[in-house]
Amino acid sequence: MKRKSSLLIVLKRISRNKGAVFGMSVVFLIIFVALFAPLIAPKDPYKQDLLASLEAPSLKHFFGTDVFGRDVLSRVIYGARTSLSISSLAVLIAFLLGAIVGIVAGYLGGVLDEVLMRFLDILMAFPDILLAIAIVAALGPGKMNLVVAIAIYSFPQFARVMRASTLMIKNTEYVEAAKAIGESNFSIMLRYILPNALAPVLVQATLRMATAVLTISGLSFLGLGVKPPEAEWGTDLAMARVYLEIAPHLGIFPGLALFLTVMGFNLFGDGLNDALNPRLKDR
């Protein structure tokens, strides 16, 4: 009987977790919407029609219109593209930087490990959103500054997870064998430790996506993130608060999109964590 591949085992475990399946479906749907926004959006999200200002949801505008007569559905769809593009780049940078710091600190140890870990402790002492606000306030609003802020407060978590995995792996038999045949530290870290330490870091990346999306919307809501008139859920929610009594749809639909996206990444991350847990045996 052929041995099941690791991917099939992971997919089987995820399929048995209803929350993970729902979360994964939401994540894939949001990614699909973000990638094909120009084809899916029924209207131009930036086209103004003041004669159609604050229209309620209808067959012409399924999610209604905002104060400038722009189609809310189209802005929600393009908002997914904005949020995912910024959060994906920020999490990727944090992933790479955290993986490098964590694997170097865990494998080499000693004074270098102590210095790097104390630096990470300083960063982690600040709440994520407060550190992000401080960084963006210093650098100024803008998408690239959002990426920098999210990457800075996210990479310590990746580094901690990678370091913990490295500490468990570096004393295994295959690593000792690689040392015995004279492989360099760089080669050992790249060929043996990194591939075997990726699982928990990938889970962390999924969970950090949820935090990043929420941070982007929060900072944009405060006027420190994406600048109007660009479509972004937090920016649209900031405008919607003025008109909630007469046009509640302005806040309902961007808020619902944000809620589903964050919940989807969290549920998918939790399910992925269970599926990649080496202590669980496939039955």
User: Is 281 among the domain residues?
Assistant: no
pLDDT at 283 (0 to 100):
45
Q: Give 280's pLDDT tier (boundaries 50, 70, 90).
A: low
pLDDT score of 2: 42
Q: Span 245-269, mean pLDDT?
A: 94
Indicate the pLDDT class of residue 276, thresholds 50, 70 and 90.
confident
pLDDT of residue 3: 45
Domain residue limits at 220: 18-33+71-275
Mean of the pLDDT values across residues 127-133? 89
Residue 18 has a pLDDT of: 86
Please tell me the predicted confidence (pLDDT) of residue 1. Answer: 38
Percent of the chain with pLDDT over 90: 61
Q: How confident is the model at residue 101 (pLDDT cuts 50, 70, 90)?
A: very high
What are the Cα distances from residue 131, in Å, to 128, 152, 194? 5, 9, 29
Can you tell me the distance from the alpha carbon of 94 to that of 167, in angstroms, rounded to the nearest whole number?
20
Amino acid at 128: D
Instruction: Tell me what pLDDT residue 278 has.
Output: 56
Per-residue pLDDT reduced to its tens digit, 50-71: 998 999 999 999 999 999 999 9
DSSP-derived 3-state class of residue 46: coil
Angstrom distance (rounded) from CA 248 to CA 240? 8
- CATH number of the domain that 143 lies in? 1.10.3720.10
Is the confidence at residue 5, as pLDDT, over 80? no
* Tens-digit pLDDT profile for residues 150-202: 999 999 999 999 999 898 888 888 888 888 888 888 888 888 888 888 888 88
Is 179 within the bounds of a domain?
yes
Domain count, the chain: 1
Is 56 within a domain? no
Confidence tier at 234 by pLDDT (50, 70, 90):
very high
pLDDT-derived band at 91 (thresholds 50, 70, 90) equals very high
Q: What's the mean pLDDT when you consider all of the chain? A: 89
Instruction: Give domain status of residue 234, yes or no.
Output: yes
Whole-prediction pTM value? Answer: 0.89
Domain assignment of residue 57, yes or no:
no
In a domain, 47, yes or no: no
On whether the CB atoms of residues 194 and 103 are closer than 8 A, the answer is yes
Q: What's the rounded mean pLDDT across residues 212-229?
A: 92
pLDDT of residue 145: 92
Per DSSP, what are the bridge partners of residue 71?
65
Band (37; pLDDT cuts 50, 70, 90): very high
Distances (CA, A) of 208 to 11, 80, 248, 264: 21, 16, 30, 12
